[in-house]
């Protein structure tokens, strides 16, 4: 097994850093988002460019332009905003719309406030009224430092976020979970300490550490980075159009959709064929091959992994050693489940609780056969979701 440090707490230094405003951004969209702009339309920073058609207060947040510019392209998974072309001779230069602060934000409460937050770009789908709210203040993975950095440097913004959440959700209590030995506090939260050794830092295990219950149905959890986004909305009354992203030992605030290569250039990080670049952390991040990909609001780290640092995973046979069972925090049998998935025995995978997998990646990390264990489990989960959707869509007359 490859030995790397799995503690996620780290020595903190410096403040949030800006980068030069990029001339072009590729703003990611989710499948549910519907574009509300047209190609060649001039848009201002903070202007809505994609919405959710549902009127619910609890859904994905609207998407806003993160720079002043012109819509260059509308793709299924992104809207590209580039520079405004120079006006033709005799024509006036187009002026991007200016977004005004939302005056109602101070007076709304409950569901109406949640809906307004959604329109201002906050994803509210995980929020419910009157539950216990847990703020996960642990850095989620080794090398991802944004959470503790914000706890150290942005206490007023986090306090503003808590005050807004209190009005929106009227929670029973708000608990902040931090690493054992750390001293962070956030006004309005009860502080609880927990292990910072991965995978104890992922949400289901943080909920367990804070409540003593597995999968309780009266708890909502959000990260410190999510709370910072809400706090910035509270402070400015404007959509927060930035991503907070760590690169090595620095934390940057960049316009959503900034190309990975623009951030790495600003961070003075050189990339070459000897590096794998990952959106997210080393355990659960997604490796990318296109450095022009835009950074999403939910991405809180760019990680570089040296080629060859880890042996490549391959569809090698399982040797039934049990290492993955010992490492699995969900107490399921990853090796057996991976074999079911490998041979498309998805119903057997379901009956052995594949859905309980927390997607922490520890099974792949410890597997001496270098099998893509988690990847097999993700395949089984996706196949079962597709199967369930197909069944749900069946009507009697189709039979």
Shortest distance, position 357 Cβ to ligand SF4, whole Å: 3
Residue 319 engages ligand SF4 in binding (rule: CB under 6 A) = yes
CA distance 349 to 343: 10
Q: Which residues contact 161 (CB under 8 A, 6 or more apart)?
A: 227, 228, 229, 230, 231, 232, 234
Q: Pick the binder of ligand SF4 from 361, 372, 379, 381 (CB under 6 A).
A: 361
The yes or no reply on residue 259 touching ligand SF4 (CB under 6 A) is no
User: What gap in Å lies between CA 66 and CA 123, rounded to an integer?
Assistant: 17
| Nearer Cβ to ligand SF4 (102/358) | 358
- The reply to whether 357 sits near ligand SF4 by the rule CB under 6 A is yes
Q: How far apart are CA 188 and CA 194, in angstroms?
A: 19
Q: From the list 60, 144, 210, 330, which residue makes contact with ligand SF4 (rule: CB under 6 A)?
A: 330
Contact range with ligand SF4 by CB under 6 A, out of 122-130, 231-239, 315-323, 341-349: 315-323
Is 208 within 8 Å of 201 (Cβ atoms)?
Answer: no
Tell me 84's DSSP state.
Answer: P
Instruction: Please report whether residue 322 would count as binding ligand SF4 according to CB under 6 A.
Output: yes
Told to check if 283 binds ligand SF4 by CB under 6 A, we report no
Non-local CB neighbours of 204 within 8 Å, separated by 6+ positions: 214, 215, 358
Q: Does 206 bind ligand SF4 (CB under 6 A)?
A: no
CB nearer to ligand SF4: pick between 83 and 322: 322
- Closest to ligand SF4 by CB, 307 vs 321, is 321
Of the pair 261, 348, the CB lying nearest ligand SF4 is at 348
Residue nearer to ligand SF4 on the CB measure, 96 or 334: 334
Nearest alpha carbon to residue 232 among 145, 115, 102, 354: 102
- From candidates 60, 189, 332, 349, binder to ligand SF4 by CB under 6 A: 332
360 forms part of the interface with ligand SF4 (CB under 6 A): yes
Count, residues near ligand SF4 per rule CB under 6 A: 29
Binding residue for ligand SF4, selected from 271, 288, 369, 384, defined by CB under 6 A? 369
User: Is residue 341 a contact residue for ligand SF4 (CB under 6 A)?
Assistant: no
Q: Which stretch binds ligand SF4 (CB under 6 A): 122-130, 137-145, 289-297, 351-359?
A: 351-359
Q: Which residue in the set 15, 54, 130, 320 belongs to the binding site for ligand SF4 (CB under 6 A)?
A: 320
**Partner residues linked to 288 by β-bridges:** 277
Alpha-carbon dihedral sign for residues 337, 341, 342, 345: positive
The upper half-sphere exposure of residue 283, i.e. CA atoms within 13 Å in the direction of its Cβ, equals 26
Residues in CB range of 281: below 8 A, 6 or more apart: 140, 141, 142, 143, 144, 301, 303
Nearest distance, CB of residue 204 and ligand SF4, angstroms: 9
Instruction: Note whether 284 and 323 are within 8 A (CB).
Output: no
Pairing of strands 190-194, 174-179: parallel
For ligand SF4, the binding residue among 175, 233, 338, 346 (CB under 6 A) is 338
Q: Prior bond to 199 cis, omega within 30?
A: yes
**Residue pointed to by tokens 């949400």:** 203
Residue nearest to ligand SF4 (CB): 335
Residue 374 makes contact with ligand SF4 by CB under 6 A: yes
Does position 284 interact with ligand SF4 (CB under 6 A)? The reply is no
Q: Nearer Cβ to ligand SF4, position 1 or 86?
A: 1
Question: Which of residues 145 and 367 has its CB atom nearest to ligand SF4 in the complex?
Answer: 367
207 binds ligand SF4 (CB under 6 A): no
According to DSSP, residue 99 is labeled P
Stretch that binds ligand SF4, among 54-62, 121-129, 301-309, 323-331 (CB under 6 A): 323-331
Greatest alpha-carbon span in the chain: 76
Cα-based distances in Å from 6 to 143, 201, 224, 324, 373? 9, 10, 20, 16, 19
**Binding-site ranges for ligand SF4 (CB under 6 A):** 318-324, 327-330, 332, 334-335, 338, 357-363, 366-367, 369, 371, 373-374, 377
């Amino acid at each position: 097994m490859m030995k790397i440090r799995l503690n996620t707490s780290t020595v903190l230094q410096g403040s949030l850093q800006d980068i030069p405003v990029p001339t072009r951004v590729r703003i990611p969209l989710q499948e549910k988002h519907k574009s509300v702009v047209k190609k060649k339309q001039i848009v201002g920073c903070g202007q809505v460019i994609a919405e959710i058609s549902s009127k619910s207060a609890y859904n994905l947040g609207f998407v806003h332009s993160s720079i002043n510019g012109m819509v260059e392209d509308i793709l299924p998974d992104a809207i590209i905003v580039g520079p405004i072309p120079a006006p033709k001779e005799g024509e006036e230069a187009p002026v991007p719309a200016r977004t005004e602060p939302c005056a109602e934000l101070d007076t709304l409460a409950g569901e109406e406030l949640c809906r307004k937050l959604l329109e201002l770009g906050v994803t509210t789908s995980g929020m419910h009224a009157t539950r216990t709210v847990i703020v996960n203040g642990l850095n989620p993975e080794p090398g991802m430092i944004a959470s503790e950095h914000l706890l150290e440097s942005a206490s007023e913004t986090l306090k503003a976020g808590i005050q807004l959440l209190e009005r929106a959700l009227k929670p029973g209590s708000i608990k902040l979970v931090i690493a054992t030995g750390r001293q962070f506090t956030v006004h309005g939260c009860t502080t609880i300490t927990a292990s910072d050794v991965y995978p104890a830092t992922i949400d289901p295990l943080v909920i367990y550490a804070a409540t003593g219950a597995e999968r309780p149905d009266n708890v909502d959890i959000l990260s410190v980075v999510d709370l910072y986004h809400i706090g910035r909305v509270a402070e400015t009354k404007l959509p927060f159009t930035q991503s907070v992203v760590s690169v090595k030992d620095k934390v940057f605030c960049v316009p959503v959709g900034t190309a990975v290569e623009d951030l790495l250039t600003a961070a003075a990080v050189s990339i070459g064929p000897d590096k794998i670049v990952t959106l997210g952390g080393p355990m659960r991040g997604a490796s990318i091959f296109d450095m022009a990909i835009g950074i999403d609001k939910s991405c809180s780290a760019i990680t570089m992994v040296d080629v060859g640092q880890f042996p490549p995973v391959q569809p090698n046979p399982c040797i039934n050693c049990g290492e993955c069972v010992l490492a699995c925090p969900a107490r399921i049998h990853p090796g057996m489940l991976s074999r079911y998935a490998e041979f498309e025995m998805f119903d057997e995978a379901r009956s052995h609780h594949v859905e309980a997998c927390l997607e922490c990646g520890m099974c792949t990390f410890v597997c001496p056969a270098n099998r893509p264990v988690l990847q097999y489990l993700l395949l089984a989960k996706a196949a079962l979701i597709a199967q369930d959707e197909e069944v749900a869509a069946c009507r009697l007359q189709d039979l």
